[in-house]
Amino acid sequence: MQAPVQPKPRLEFLNTKPPPNYVAGLGRGATGFTTRSDIGPARAAPDLPDRSATPIGAPGPAGPSGAGRGRGKAAEEEEEDEADEKGYDENQKFDEFEGNDVGLFASAEYDEDDKEADEVWAAIDERMDERRKERREARVKQAIEDYRASNPKITEQFADLKRKLYTMSSQDWDSIPEIGDYSLRNKKKRFESFVPVPDTLLEKARQEKEHVTALDPKSRLSGGTETPWSQTPVTDLTAVGEGRGTVLSLKLDRISDSVSGLTVVDPKGYLTDLKSMKITSDAEISDIKKARLLLKSVTQTNPKHPPGWIAAARLEEVAGKLQAARQLIEKGCEECPKHEDVWLEACRLASPDEAKAVIAKGVKAIPNSVKLWMQASKLEHDDTNKSRVLRKGLEHIPDSVRLWKAVVELANEEDARLLLQRAVECCPLHVELWLALARLETYENAKKVLNKARERLSKEPAIWITAAKLEEANGNTAMVGKILERGIRSLQREGVEINREGWMKEAEAAERAGSVATCHAIIRNTIGIGVEELDRKRTWVADAEECKKRGSIETARAIYAHALTVFLTKKSIWLKAAQLEKSHGTRESLDALLRKAVTYRPQAEVLWLMGAKEKWLAGDVPAARAILQEAYAAIPNSEEIWLAAFKLEFENHEPERARMLLTKARERGGTERVWMKSAIVERELGNTMEERKLLEDGLKLFPSFFKLWLLLGQLEDRLGHLVEAKKAYASGLDKCPHSIPLWLLLASLEEMTNGMGTARAVLTTARKKNPRNPELWLAAVRAESRHGNKKQADTLMATALQECPASGILWAASIEMAPRPQRRTKCADAFKKCDHDAHVFVAVATLFWHDRKVEKARNWLNRAVTLAPDIGDFWALYYKFELQHGTEENQKDVLKRCVAAEPKHGLDLPRRAPYGVLQSDLGSLLSKACKVYMVLDCVDFAPLLFVTGQCFVWQHLQT
């Protein structure tokens, strides 16, 4: 029985702790690695005791004695206690987003409050994301567009070429060269290994290169007359390398060229790409080298292809080798002597001294090239030499219109006439040469030239138009219409389509050239061609308006004149024609048109009134009276004519005649407007008793006409009878509860007599009966501000903007009330709600004015008065601005525009204007209003309308 084998004793160092940073096998060059089996399952490993310091067979540590390598139990308990005191564990995993708080509330319950808080924060995040959404989407969209513009797809680059594929014939398809093998299999990069060449192969190669004179033993056995069967052929490595190079060259040539000899490289692409090429890096230098090799192949395989030589020369030019470029293009001229593009490129690349010699060779090789002759003329610096070169070219190319035009431009008038006579002989089918010759000839000769041109070019309308202009220029305006009428008939016989839009453009061109009669004749003969009978009025009016927008006034006048011959009784066309004459014509032409209009439309009140007003504005009051008398005879019961006659007499300081006219109008059944005008006349004349009687009688007849109640309340207010005035306003509101001026006047009166409390109650009642009314809200806000209730005013303004978000006057007042740092934000909010409101424009202009941004303030004020020219406050503010920052010319311009606009509404201007202010008094009135603004220094207050009742009343009284 064999004795048991004793185990070998374990080495002592295996039981000790390894040194720090120890890696097993690192000393002999073996690097350890880790596999998945070493890692184990994806779960936390148990906390095993450290056995590195425990002898084999010894029991495990039962107490803190085994804590030499790791943490002992006492240390762990101590740190746990410390963590409990701190409330968190310092050794836990750190979260990048929540920090050390990731586990702070891990044990807390998730209740409804937490859910609601998360929802609130999610809503805030969503709101903030929506605010940035438009800018983010715009930025992403712009980035995508920029990327696509700089990196277009291959399909986009060749889209135009793909559309042209349908023009290719079967021969073109057959001539497309074969492509090489570009499959994925050949594109894979194969693994190549390189090993040292064995000495035996090198020795064998050396021996094969040697020349020997003796036969080897195997050859001697066969007598030296035949090669043994086992002998291998000679292996020459140099020949093998040369053969590989030859095969590669053949493959490249096959890829480069097709069987028909045409290159598959697109040289035109290089012509455009090389123009913008800039050498900035080694990569681009490498690209130039590749392009040079490619273009060299192009020029060698197909030397008769001009774009290849041009591309090669431009490549060298971009690379900075100008001499090489000249040499290449010179070779190109030798290979392609009949292509003008090569010669033009050679001329461009040549030095100034050699360019003439190069172009001379070009025209000698291609004498029929117009481009070469034009380039040769450009190289000359003297007009005489240029003309000589061009004439030399015309000897070879007598039918070149371009050369004839160039040589005519260089000649004087007499030489040009002789040249054009020869030109029309050589180019008889070119109308521009005929017309140029006709312009240089005398009247009689020009008619002969145009007749010859008409014989040669019977389908050319420009000849007939030129003939009409010729007759008009020589005073024969009667012949203009006949020539164009005959010309249109002749063109129609020849089968030429008469395009109405094209002829209208010719009419506008004739107008710009000063041929007004020709313009009218063209319109008269062509405006009705191709237009349906039912669409004539609408189409002609639209054409006239378009011409008016383009500044072709005579063309628009001609269209209206022709339309009025067809539609004699259409009032709308007469009015549009009158407006055109008023804007762009003379007083005489307007008066003649209106006289003609009332002849065909005697029942049109507006035509009579327009004629009378124009006479009045011209200072001819008797003529205006006569027109109104004729109008009254034609329309005896017209209230508008009665009131116009009254206004004429009253504003010309004839109150008795005005009173008599109104009395007759009331006797003949006048309307409420007649009674109101009568009361206003008595008020201006100071007849209080008569005014009261007229108002009381008028209210008996028209109790629902709120303006009579307004006048009655104002009468009592002027006399100091505040109680009676309040009763008048209250009675008016019983009959007219939706009259805003009555509510405003009553609130103003209550504020003055009983204080703010009663006025607030009146305005609240008014808002309940008239919801969504910005004037009432603004009056309430202003009233609170006047009494120092700023918080109440701000609250009312916020509510008003919620109820009337698109009100410009409210936004303007809100901008004024806001603190200075918040005004820009208020302006931005106002533009979002009402971007085309004049009150907002004035508020913005005021901000720029305070910031000393003069030009911006002027622009915004100009926009405001352009958008709302009827508001006098804007004009007064604009005039004040120009007095402070503008020139005298600007001030006069503002006054002139204000007089032309006739403003009637506003806060301060109408309140100081007597009824029926003359046009000449508007300037002084504007100056007075501006002085008031300056004294009160109420720049911000000026654009806010309807603050008091009187201004709003004035607006309604004027309308």
Instruction: List helix spans (H) across 818-948.
Output: 823-833, 838-850, 854-867, 872-885, 888-901, 922-936
pLDDT band at 246 (very low <50, low <70, confident <90, very high): low
Quick one: 421 and 290 in the same domain? yes
pLDDT at residue 814, as a whole number: 93
User: What percent of the chain is helix, strand and coil (3-state, nearest 5)?
Assistant: 70, 0, 30
pLDDT band at 234 (very low <50, low <70, confident <90, very high): very low
Tokens of 562: 């022709």
- Decide if pLDDT at 44 tops 50: no
Q: Structural domain tally of the chain? A: 4
- Choosing from 752, 787, 820, the residue where a domain stops is 820
pLDDT at residue 62, as a whole number: 43
Quick one: 658 and 781 in the same domain? no
Residue 645 lies in a domain: yes
Mean pLDDT of all residues belonging to the chain: 77
- Decide if pLDDT at 647 tops 50: yes
Quick one: 717 and 777 in the same domain? no
DSSP string, 742-792: HHHHHHHHHHHHT-HHHHHHHHHHHHHHSTT-HHHHHHHHHHHHHTT-HHH
Quick one: 755 and 900 in the same domain? no
Q: Which range marks the domain in which residue 896 is found? A: 836-938
Residue 128 lies in a domain: no
- Decide if pLDDT at 953 tops 50: no
Cα(150)–Cα(109) distance, integer angstroms = 55
Quick one: 387 and 429 in the same domain? yes
pLDDT band at 146 (very low <50, low <70, confident <90, very high): confident
CB 504 within 8 A of CB 526: yes
pLDDT at residue 546, as a whole number: 92
Quick one: 361 and 392 in the same domain? yes
- Decide if pLDDT at 65 tops 80: no
Quick one: 747 and 776 in the same domain? yes
Which has more confidence, 801 or 410?
801
Q: CATH number, domain at 760?
A: 1.25.40.10
Residue 186 lies in a domain: no
pLDDT at residue 213, as a whole number: 53
What is the SS3 assignment for 18? coil
pLDDT at residue 157, as a whole number: 76
Q: CATH number, domain at 891?
A: 1.25.40
| SS3 per residue for 194-252 | CCCCCHHHHHHHHHHHCCCCCCCHHHHHCCCCCCCCCCCCCCCHHHHHHHHHHHHHHHH
- Decide if pLDDT at 11 tops 70: no
- Decide if pLDDT at 952 tops 80: no
What is the SS3 assignment for 265? coil
Cα dihedral 867, 871, 873, 876 sign = positive
Write b or e for each residue in 227-246: b if 16 or more Cβ atoms lie within 10 A of its Cβ, otherwise e: eeeeeeeeeeeeeeeeeeee
pLDDT in tens, 804-852: 999 999 999 999 999 988 988 999 999 898 888 999 999 999 999 999 9
pLDDT at residue 794, as a whole number: 92
pLDDT band at 452 (very low <50, low <70, confident <90, very high): confident
> Highest mean pLDDT: which of 64-78, 264-278, 649-663?
649-663
> Highest mean pLDDT: which of 62-71, 226-235, 890-899?
890-899
Which has more confidence, 426 or 180?
426
Quick one: 408 and 287 in the same domain? yes
Residue 308 lies in a domain: yes
- Decide if pLDDT at 393 tops 90: no
- Choosing from 795, 820, 845, the residue where a domain stops is 820
Quick one: 316 and 358 in the same domain? yes
Mean pLDDT score, 257-274: 46
DSSP string, 45-77: PP-PPP-TTS-TTPPPP-SGGG-SSS--HHHHH
Which pTM does this prediction carry? 0.55
Quick one: 422 and 298 in the same domain? yes
pLDDT at residue 917, as a whole number: 33
Distance of CA 662 to the CA centre of its chain: 57
713-721: long-range contacts, CB 8 A cutoff, minimum separation 24:
713/742, 713/745, 713/749, 714/745, 714/950, 714/953, 715/683, 715/688, 715/691, 717/749, 719/688
- Choosing from 682, 717, 734, the residue where a domain stops is 734
Share of the chain above pLDDT 90, in %: 18
Residue 889 lies in a domain: yes
Residue 488 lies in a domain: no
pLDDT in tens, 359-391: 888 888 888 888 888 888 888 888 888 888 888
Length reported for the chain: 959
Quick one: 284 and 355 in the same domain? yes
Mean pLDDT score, 625-635: 84
- Decide if pLDDT at 730 tops 70: yes
pLDDT at residue 33, as a whole number: 61
CB 563 within 8 A of CB 540: yes
Tokens of 810: 């409210």
pLDDT band at 352 (very low <50, low <70, confident <90, very high): confident
Mean pLDDT score, 872-900: 90
- Decide if pLDDT at 69 tops 70: no
DSSP string, 531-561: --GGGHHHHHHHHHHHHHHTT-HHHHHHHHH
Quick one: 396 and 334 in the same domain? yes
